[in-house]
Structure 1
Amino acid sequence: MMEASNKPGSWRRLWNLILQAEPPKLLLLTALLLSVMTTLAGLILPLFTKDLVDGFSAASLDRKQIVALGTVFLAQAIAGGLSVYMLNLGGNRVVAAIRERLWRKMLALPVAYFDRHKTGETISRMTNDTAVVKGLVAEHFASFCTGILSVAGALAIMLTMDWRMTAIMLLVFPVTALMMMPVGRAMFRISKGMQEETARFTAVLNRVLSEIRLVKASGSEPVEYVQGADGIEKLFRFGRREGRAQAVLSPLVSFVILLLLVTIIGYGGAQVSAGAITAGELVAFILYLFQIVMPLTQITHFFTQLQKAKGATESIIEILESEEEDLESGERNVPEAGTIEVDRVSFAYKANEPVLKNVSFTIEHGKKTAIVGPSGSGKTTLFSLLERFYAPDEGAIRFGGRGIETYALSAWRRKLGYVSQECPIIAGTIRENIGYGVDRIVSDRELEEAARLAYADEFIRQLPEGYDTEVGERGIKLSGGQRQRIAIARALLRNPDILMLDEATSSLDSRSEAVVQQALSNLMAGRTTIIIAHRLATVADADRIVFLDKGRVTGIGTHDELYRSHATYREFADRQLKLDDSAAS
């Protein structure tokens, strides 16, 4: 990937990325014109200096010259300030547009993408990589534009003053450029590696800090310290290599400046002695030399940043070019009622490692269907297929006689309500959590009614801020049973036609489970319900039980039917009964 990044195509990819952000052309053009004014004002100053040196006396200074000189200084300061501000503003708008596009893309990416990429690495693309592009566009680009204008203008005037001295000076630059090219390539490799390592380190930080309670409860601080310290050490090594490259670059630039200065003073002094040029012209020439050298340093920094931005662009474009979910294509009118048919479905996350194998069964409308079986039998994967997080490798899932993939994804998911064992809660208030994902305006009365049916209203009203109580990150301020009831209230507010319950009570104590079961009864009323459960006591009354074992359906029927005819189910049920009896005692 690094080698490819040095090809001309990578420059075009960066340029296209910026163009697609729709940069404010009028603003940038105005900034460019102001830069021209700044440069012109700067180019006039050495000419004033030449006249002062050649004919300096107190009498030669009149009010008009002083006013003119002050006006030039003032115009340069104002135009320069406005130019830098506008270029930075335009650059920030470009980067904001890239970030907005990247954020929209991330939300549209399928679950499979996040299975393949660590969360911290994805976050790093949004923050660190876009910051590199921001540095190029909003900061270094301004200096680059100003520098180009300054160098071009100064060279033009120097050629008219003394073309021989200018030619001697210009001979140094190609040699310097050849010397700096290897350093530039090294800087790209270093910056690319640093961006990748930063992404990995961010992933470690995100993983550890998001599960800090598990880390501490497990006594894993020493292990995590080693992993974090390894990332820090690798970043240090890249920083050290970058420092070495800068250690070559900076003295090289200083050497070029000093060489040019000595050459110009030596040659120019001889020209002054010979009467070919005046002392004022030599002074002006030296001043113009600095107007070339200083911008060249800025231009060098621009190309260094450009190398970094090229690497960052590849990471950003990798996300932008990833296949995304199409939420709106397809039939939007999903039938209110219908039978779900799972027809010979097979699926594997990795090739040759099937999780589901030729699975077939039906889920009747308005009925309660349970999917049970040992851990790893594919129950949660089946839910993921129903939610269309993934598509079956073989077979089909139909609703109302049509493949669910023919319905618009947004319309299909609106039919589904999902309550899981983990019960995801976002940082915010209880009100925000209950209303999360509801695509309509919800009145306080509706929200409180949903909470009441979920048996959550009572405990919410006992909290200091009621429905406006902050729940903390991932709902840490709430108990497991409270989080479950908020999730049930959220599902009630969505009013789904199809309800999916994934181990919804498995992690609760008996008292909390009883309350949550009552809430679930309210939620299941009149809905097609699909339940995953390890504990058969919670699904023994299901209209139909589908027994999954090692990715295959090995039995379908009621609890009594399976208990009589299915040996594995009977063994599974007896083991569950013993576990329930021991837990009760």
Structure 2
Amino acid sequence: MWILSFYRSYPIRLFFILCFMVLFMLCELAIPYLMRIFIDDIFTTKDMVKFYNFCAIFIVPVVLMVVFKSIYDRLSCKLQERVSIKLQKKLLSKMRDLGVAYYENNQSGETLSIIQSSVDSATELYRKHLPQFMLQFSNMLVVFLYIMFFNIYFASIMIIAMIVNHFLSKHFGQKSIFWTEMETNNKITLERKIYDAVSAIPELRSYGSVEWSLREIQERTNEFVEISFKAHLYRHLRFLYRWIIINLGKMFVFIYGTVMVINGIMDYGEIITIVLYYVVFMNSYSIVVRNLWDQEISLNHSARLNNFMNIIPEVEEMKNQISMPDSKGTIELINVSFSYKNKPVVLEKINLTIKPGEKVAFVGMSGGGKSTILKLLTRNYDVSEGEIRINGIPIQQISFEEIRNQIGVVNQEIYLFGSSTIYENILFGNPHATESEVIEAAKAAYAHDFIMSLPNGYQTVVGERGFNLSGGQKQRIAIARVFLKRPSIILLDEATSALDSISEVEVDMAFKKLLDGRTTVTVAHRLSTVKDYDCLYIIENGKIVDSGCFNDLMKRSDKFKEIVLGPKGEAS
């Protein structure tokens, strides 16, 4: 099983855990046997010397049980935590490796919900279920062999009780597993709905749709409660029938044992010992059955995690990578065509070369494929046909780390870490930067003055989605990040389209300083921001239909004039 493969790195620790588990089990099973001696040899003779000696002996297995159990728990806990950390690291690494393509096609809330609930349940497999199963199954086996050699009829009663229990448990167990699985799936759906509602609180308020959202969550909650009730009901019925059967079996063992004692075949101590061993056996059996059922649920969750871990990323690193010792900022697109999975072609036969320090922009109507080019340059997706080269090296042969170290991106929607400070959000651009470098980057982005005007300055917490900052302030923090990163290539995806005119002026000042001497690729709707660019490419239906500088295109391209002035001839 995939989830148990994490144990392979700790064979010695696992061996000692099993040893102390066996020692604990033997001490536990020794107590009913000592009870037999106590009843037959001491209780009937009333010898006080033997009684005191026996009490001293009786303490030994109890003390050893405490010692062995303490060592077992300590070793087991350390192993479980190490395995859990290893699993968490694997999952986080996988979440990173899946890349943008996965998260654009799958809801983050659902992914997080699956991982959280599945990890908790899957880790229970090796924290609780597996150790319990091994201990209790060993108990069952030793007790059964002892009773079978002692008296086959007692063993038969145990077997009958176990068989009846099995068939009844199977009937209710299947229903219980079905409704528990339904409960888990419904919980994931509910958590996704709550995540969406919390994320969309500003929009819900602005549209007056808070009550609608609450009603929708309430409906999902009611559905979850109804399914959860059925899951708990069948779990309860399963345990109820098991309890009845165990106690009926105990009664039959005691009745048969009493008959054996009356006929002089058994002693009082032997019947008490058999009853105690029966209780131990059936309790262990109950735990094993419950454990197997819990394991099945955990394995279902483990299967989800395994499926998640086996998702093949759309973009993968090549093993033999080429380093870029001299980062000039040259970009080449050679016969590049691209389509998203199972969708029409987005880009077709794109050919262009961007020289170091050159500023180019992609313009055109929405849906033409402009932003897709930026996704290809950061290798969030791979081209369907053709080739992209950075500094003369095919992009597939460059490591993700090197690509993203050489490229700085500023998007229209800036993501700020809500629970972090402004200082930490700028430091995100280069975690190894010093405090003075962070402040210099903020000054270069024209962000230092507004930051210092805040009550806590650089230690101001930005709030969820940067709620405490304006659009222009968030953009300047993003620009400060890029200053701190010092990339050779800058990608701007409609970075000023959502700003008011005052904020746009402030951000433009920061951009001019940032872009100076760096290769710049911009997707622009506000064409006033790219008038001084070296070249503008008009993208229409995934093709470059024209290119040139701003003034040149205004003179000769009707298509460009329409983009700039609009269909009614009004400037954008």
Normalising by the smaller structure, the TM-score range is: over 0.9
Structure 2 counterpart of 1:414, which letter? Answer: N
Distance 1:175 1:372 in 2: 75
- Pair 85,407 (structure 1): closer, same or farther in 2 beyond 3 Å: closer
Query: How far apart are 1:315 and its partner, in Å?
Result: 1.1
Structure 1 counterpart of 2:196, which letter? Answer: R
Distance 2:182 2:340 in 1: 30
Structure 2 counterpart of 1:59, which letter? Answer: D
1:120-131 → structure 2 map (5 Å cutoff):
120-131=109-120
Whether the 8 Å CA contact 1:271–1:277 is kept in 2: the answer is yes
Select 1:279's aligned residue among 259, 268, 278. Answer: 268
Select 2:486's aligned residue among 489, 495, 500. Answer: 495
Distance 1:185 1:419 in 2: 53
Whether the 8 Å CA contact 2:447–2:480 is kept in 1: the answer is yes
Query: How far apart are 1:291 and its partner, in Å?
Result: 0.7
1:198 aligns with 2:187: yes
Whether the 8 Å CA contact 1:84–1:142 is kept in 2: the answer is no
1:385 paired residue number = 376
Query: How far apart are 1:350 and its partner, in Å?
Result: 4.2
1:45 paired residue number = 31
- Deviation readout 1:123-152 (Å, 9 max, x if unpaired): 123311011012222123332222122222
2:279 paired residue number = 290
Query: How far apart are 1:485 and its partner, in Å?
Result: 0.7
Select 1:407's aligned residue among 388, 398, 413. Answer: 398
Distance 1:24 1:213 in 2: 50
1:249-268 → structure 2 map (5 Å cutoff):
249-268=238-257
Whether the 8 Å CA contact 1:369–1:531 is kept in 2: the answer is yes
Distance 2:106 2:4 in 1: 25
1:165 paired residue number = 154
Structure 2 counterpart of 1:309, which letter? Answer: S
1:19 aligns with 2:5: yes
1:336 aligns with 2:327: yes
Distance 2:410 2:27 in 1: 68
- 3-state secondary structure, aligned to 2:417: coil
Structure 2 counterpart of 1:47, which letter? Answer: Y
- Deviation readout 1:543-566 (Å, 9 max, x if unpaired): 111112232222211222222222
> Bigger CA drift: 187-196 or 294-303?
187-196
Query: How far apart are 1:489 and its partner, in Å?
Result: 0.9
Q: TM-score, normalised by structure 1?
A: 0.90
Distance 1:156 1:401 in 2: 75
Select 2:508's aligned residue among 510, 514, 517. Answer: 517
1:216 paired residue number = 205
1:30 aligns with 2:16: yes
> Bigger CA drift: 215-224 or 23-32?
23-32
Structure 2 counterpart of 1:240, which letter? Answer: F
1:302 paired residue number = 291
Whether the 8 Å CA contact 2:329–2:518 is kept in 1: the answer is no
Distance 2:436 2:67 in 1: 59
- Pair 21,335 (structure 1): closer, same or farther in 2 beyond 3 Å: farther
Whether the 8 Å CA contact 1:397–1:404 is kept in 2: the answer is yes
Query: How far apart are 1:260 and its partner, in Å?
Result: 0.9
Distance 1:576 1:372 in 2: 16
Query: How far apart are 1:426 and its partner, in Å?
Result: 1.6
1:558 aligns with 2:544: no
2:423 paired residue number = 431
Count of residue pairs brought into register by the alignment: 566
Q: CA RMSD of the aligned region, Å?
A: 2.4
- Pair 448,328 (structure 1): closer, same or farther in 2 beyond 3 Å: farther
Whether the 8 Å CA contact 1:184–1:307 is kept in 2: the answer is no
Structure 1 counterpart of 2:247, which letter? Answer: L
- Pair 495,81 (structure 1): closer, same or farther in 2 beyond 3 Å: same
- Pair 280,21 (structure 1): closer, same or farther in 2 beyond 3 Å: closer
Query: How far apart are 1:579 and its partner, in Å?
Result: 6.1
Query: How far apart are 1:298 and its partner, in Å?
Result: 1.2
Whether the 8 Å CA contact 1:346–1:394 is kept in 2: the answer is yes
Structure 2 counterpart of 1:371, which letter? Answer: F
Distance 2:129 2:310 in 1: 27
- 3-state secondary structure, aligned to 1:196: helix
Question: What percentage of residue pairs aligned between the two structures are identical?
Answer: 27
Select 2:527's aligned residue among 531, 536, 539. Answer: 536
Select 2:135's aligned residue among 121, 126, 146. Answer: 146
Distance 1:131 1:282 in 2: 44
- Pair 412,577 (structure 1): closer, same or farther in 2 beyond 3 Å: farther
Query: How far apart are 1:479 and its partner, in Å?
Result: 1.5
Query: How far apart are 1:499 and its partner, in Å?
Result: 0.9
Structure 1 counterpart of 2:34, which letter? Answer: F
- Pair 446,531 (structure 1): closer, same or farther in 2 beyond 3 Å: same
1:452 paired residue number = 443
Distance 1:183 1:332 in 2: 61
Distance 2:217 2:271 in 1: 58
2:475 paired residue number = 484
Structure 2 counterpart of 1:432, which letter? Answer: E
Distance 2:60 2:386 in 1: 80
